[in-house]
Amino acid sequence: MSTSFLSTSGRGLDTIRSLLPYVWRFKFRVGVALLCLVLAKLATVAMPLWLKQIVDSLNVAPSLLVLPVGALLGYGLVRLASGFFGELRDALFARVTQGAVERISTQIFAHLLQLSLRFHMDRQTGGLSRDIERGTKGVSFLLNFTVFNILPTLLELALVTTILLWRYDWWFAGVTLFTIAIYICFTLFFTEKRLRYRRTMNQLDSRANTQAMDALLNYETVKYFGNEDYEVKRYQRQLDKWVQAAVRNQLSLNALNVGQGAIISLGVTALLFLSAEQVVAGHMTIGDVVLVSAFLTQLYAPLNFLGFVYREIKNSLADMERMFALFAIQQEVADQPCAQELSSDQADIRFEQLSFAYDDRRQILHDFSLHIPAGHTVAVVGSSGAGKSTLVRLLFRFYDPSLGRVTINGQDIRTLTQQSLRSHIGMVPQDTVLFNDTIFHNIAYGRPGATQEEVVAVARAARIHDFIMGLPDAYQTMVGERGLKLSGGEKQRVAIARTLLKNPPILVLDEATSALDSRTEHAIQEQLAEIAKNRTTLIIAHRLSTVTKADKIIVMEHGRVVEEGSHACLLEKGGVYAQMWHIQHRT
């Protein structure tokens, strides 16, 4: 059986090898659990032996009948031992299974957080989370059913065959093995046939679920166009197809169960026929007949789940393979072995002759250079796609430039640890995304462990404290998924407060006040200007009214600097900046 499902996945053995180190951490528990497994199965196999003694003791003339106390006690003890060692095995192995899942999940989460921005921009979050979820469930299933179903069944089969060969004619062992072999082959063959029905069901179920979720997520659009009946009918058509596949799947299961029952019935009948012949010939007792039939019945119970176990183990290996494949994804941007820690209250930033492209077919930056002296504020403006946000990503070292370098205080940031580099930069993005947690948590995220007083202080500075105190739960208000319970301006003020709490020497403002009303924007602009006085500040802006007080303004087009200077100087030039200013001013 194992060869079949491993060869189906092609890389099943590699997947199991990837899993073994996580299990081997608990080698003592695994060893004791396997010992309990052996003891439980020995007790299980011993039960029919004691049952034979009881039957034979009672199969005598009434005048000679006495109570077989020893056999009864023996049967009771081995039955108790079978249950006890089985439960002890489960208890010991639970820590192995859950510990392996916990370690794998933690390492994958840490690995994903270390991967570069390019991976996270390309990934599909829903599919990635499902891969991890299915993979961890696959680990749990594989370990549990290997230890609790497959190994015990194989061990019991070996013990029963040995006993039958030892006590009886070889025909008994031969019929037992032949019956089990036919049963397994039939089950695996039929399960393979049934898998296509199950796959069809899963595909149709996913399609129907996706369609329903899409309609619910776009509830307002459905209402705008009055298309409720249309969406219901689309959903029902998918469910009708699913029902047809589900019925075929159930009929195939019924056929599988009938075939399995027929094989076991034929096997038991053949053994009973052989046993009856031996009893008539005087070579076996009635207890032997009970013993032989009990052995085959005990083997049948776990084999009854063989089709399910086989299918699920195949699926588990495939799911685990996808999950472990995530570990093979390498970091695009990694720390050098001798990377240094950045530690400075001042930051002099230089972008030196940078060239960069996300895709080789489209260059973003062309020989770009920019100097931001420590404590100065420089604004970068330009049309969409000019390369403004790319500068921020290179500064954070989400990517490395193709040519040129970025330095802080004369040090190439590639020689610094990414953790220390990013700890020196505070970011207020245009599109603020918050965690589905409290307002306090989202502000304190700028410096985990901050006190209530510190959080309140930065909230006041960001002009959001009064709004928070007006909420029923104040700072303990949940903001919803991605902060959807807050308006754009409120989210942006939370982001400003979070950055103020971090208190970095470098400040990056990417349209930091774009979602604010004019009155609030003016107040926040004054506050940001005050904060930026002692920091090296890079402003990315579309609205030129937000950068008029910058020490220097850089105008970008197609990844190049086309103009630079102060606001007044650039207006006097009458170039690209002046044209942009007049257009926005008229608007």
Please give the CATH architecture assigned to the domain spanning 1-168+320-330: Up-down Bundle (1.20)
The three state secondary structure string of 75-104 is HHHHHHHHHHHHHHHHHHHHHHHHHHHHHH
Note the pTM of the prediction, 2 decimals. 0.63
Is the per-residue pLDDT at 385 higher than 80? no
User: How far separated are the first and last CA of the chain, in Å rounded?
Assistant: 74
* Percent over 90 (pLDDT), the chain: 0
Domain boundaries, the chain: 1-168+320-330, 169-283, 339-424+505-587, 432-503
Residue 391 has pLDDT above 80, yes or no: yes
The CATH class given to the 339-424+505-587 domain equals alpha beta
What pLDDT was estimated at residue 142?
A: 76
pLDDT band at 306 (very low <50, low <70, confident <90, very high): low
Look at residue 7 and tell me whether its pLDDT is greater than 60. Answer: no
Helix axes 69-114, 125-145, angle to 10 degrees: 160
Give the tens place of pLDDT for each residue, 510-531.
Answer: 876 655 666 666 766 776 777 7
Retrieve residue 187's tokens: 């089950």
- From the list 535, 550, 500, the residue with the least C-alpha distance to 344 is 535
- DSSP class per residue in 264-332: HHHHHHHHHHHHHHHHHTTSS-HHHHHHHHHHHHHHHHHHTTHHHHHHHHHHHHHHHHHHHHGGGPPPS
pLDDT band per the 50, 70, 90 thresholds, residue 4 = very low
Q: With 60 as the cut, is the pLDDT of residue 65 above it? A: no
Closest by alpha carbon to 120, among 328, 261, 331, 263? 331
In this chain, the answer to whether the domains covering 339-424+505-587 and 432-503 adopt an identical fold is yes
pLDDT tens track for 529-559: 777 778 888 888 877 777 888 888 888 888 8
Q: pLDDT tens across 192-231, in order?
A: 777 777 777 767 777 787 778 778 877 778 887 788 888 8
Q: Which CATH class is domain 432-503?
A: alpha beta
Give the HSE-up count for residue 578: Cα atoms under 13 Å, Cβ half-sphere.
8
Residue 3 has what pLDDT?
Answer: 43
- Residue 10 scores a pLDDT above 80: no
Over residues 157-187, the pLDDT tens digits come to: 777 777 777 777 778 778 878 888 888 888 8
